């Protein structure tokens, strides 16, 4: 028997936004691999082994998943959101590149609803024009690259989505990011803090860069910034399709 590796997106948290193809892949899996809180979302059943691992071991987890698939198992690596957006899909291909005898493993990536699009939907359509997605963590890139991207993205007048804006180990960088964005975009620009979107802990704040405070974000928050035309209508926030 030939094994398979599926890298599946569980969406932002609510079961009603998991796609049927992901549900089906989980139903026939022999092994589910992932970060502890995501594996905790998968119900146990006979014939299924759950492999929950800690954060920051993505490459080791990916290699283990590839090895099990190469040994004939039906493995599903679970990510929250979309696996291709700051999640496990890249780690799987990095692990494959580092381990040439695993290059032949059959890998399928199944998309999911990523946090920025779930958050955008909750408030209206703030990403309704050209936009970018930036991971604010400097675990895997120098902070200088982040600062440069923020300035260029502002000059391009992209709406923006920020993943991993702030953690206990690096509390000051998000404050610096907000300073840069205020410089480039001015204090009136709309910004949205969406915490634990679609879950029972969801909390969404719509404010301006002038009023934004770093403490409004944590690691479960995705932050959306409007472009120069983003506005409010009724209780919604949207970015027009037409450029100013």
When asked if residue 213 is in the footprint of a copy of itself (CB under 8 A), the reply is: no
Q: How far is the CB of 66 from a copy of itself (least distance, A)?
A: 11
Using CB under 8 A, which residues numbered 104 to 163 contact a copy of itself? 104, 107, 109-114, 117-118, 120-122, 124-135, 140-142, 145, 148-149, 152-153, 155-158
Rg (CA), the chain: 19
172 binds a copy of itself (CB under 8 A): no
Residue 155 structure tokens: 């000059």
Residue nearer to a copy of itself on the CB measure, 48 or 229: 229
Does the protein bind a copy of itself through residue 21 (CB under 8 A)? yes
User: To the nearest whole angstrom, how small is the minimum distance from the Cβ of residue 143 to a copy of itself?
Assistant: 10
Query: Rule CB under 8 A: is residue 29 a binding residue for a copy of itself?
Result: no
- 2: contact with a copy of itself by CB under 8 A: no
Stretch that binds a copy of itself, among 83-91, 179-187, 200-208, 211-219 (CB under 8 A): 83-91
Whether the CB-CB separation of 123 and 236 falls below 8 Å is answered with: yes
- Indicate which single residue of 164, 173, 221, 239 sits in contact with a copy of itself (rule: CB under 8 A): 239
User: What's the CA gap between 125 and 116, in Å, rounded?
Assistant: 11
CB 93 within 8 A of CB 102: no
Question: Of the ranges 39-47, 70-78, 210-218, 232-240, which one interacts with a copy of itself (CB under 8 A)?
Answer: 232-240
Which residue, 9 or 32, is less far from a copy of itself as judged by CB? Answer: 9
The answer to the question of residue 77 lying near a copy of itself (CB under 8 A) is no
Q: What are the residues whose beta carbons fall under 8 Å from the beta carbon of 110, sequence distance 6 or more?
A: 6, 7, 8, 9, 19, 21, 22, 25, 83
Binding to a copy of itself, residues 88-107 (CB under 8 A): 89-94, 96-97, 103-104, 107
Considering only the stretches 70-78, 169-177, 211-219, 226-234, report the one whose residues sit in contact with a copy of itself under the rule CB under 8 A: 226-234
Q: At closest approach, how far in Å is the CB of 114 from a copy of itself?
A: 7
């Amino acid at each position: 028997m030939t094994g398979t590796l599926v890298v599946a997106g569980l969406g932002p948290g609510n079961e009603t936004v998991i796609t049927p193809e992901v549900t089906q892949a989980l139903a026939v899996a022999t092994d589910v691999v992932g970060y502890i809180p995501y594996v905790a979302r998968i119900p146990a059943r006979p014939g299924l082994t759950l492999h929950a691992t800690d954060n920051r071991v993505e490459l080791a987890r990916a290699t283990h998943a590839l090895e099990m698939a190469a040994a004939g198992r039906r493995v599903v690596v679970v990510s929250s959101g979309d696996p291709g957006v700051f999640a496990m899909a890249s780690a799987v291909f990095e692990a494959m590149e580092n381990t040439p005898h695993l290059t032949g493993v059959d890998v399928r990536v199944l998309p999911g609803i990523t946090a920025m699009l779930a958050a955008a939907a909750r408030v209206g359509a703030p990403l309704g024009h050209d936009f970018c997605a930036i991971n604010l963590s400097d675990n895997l890139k120098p902070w200088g690259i982040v600062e440069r991207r923020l300035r260029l993205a502002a000059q391009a007048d992209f709406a923006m989505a920020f993943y991993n804006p702030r953690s206990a180990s690096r509390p000051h960088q998000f404050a610096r990011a907000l300073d840069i964005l205020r410089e480039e975009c001015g204090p009136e620009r709309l910004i949205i803090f969406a915490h634990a979107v679609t879950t029972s802990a969801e909390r969404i704040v719509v404010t301006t860069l002038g009023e934004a405070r770093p403490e409004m974000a944590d690691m479960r928050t995705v932050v959306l910034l409007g472009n120069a035309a983003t506005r409010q209508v009724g209780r919604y926030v949207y970015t027009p399709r037409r450029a100013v």
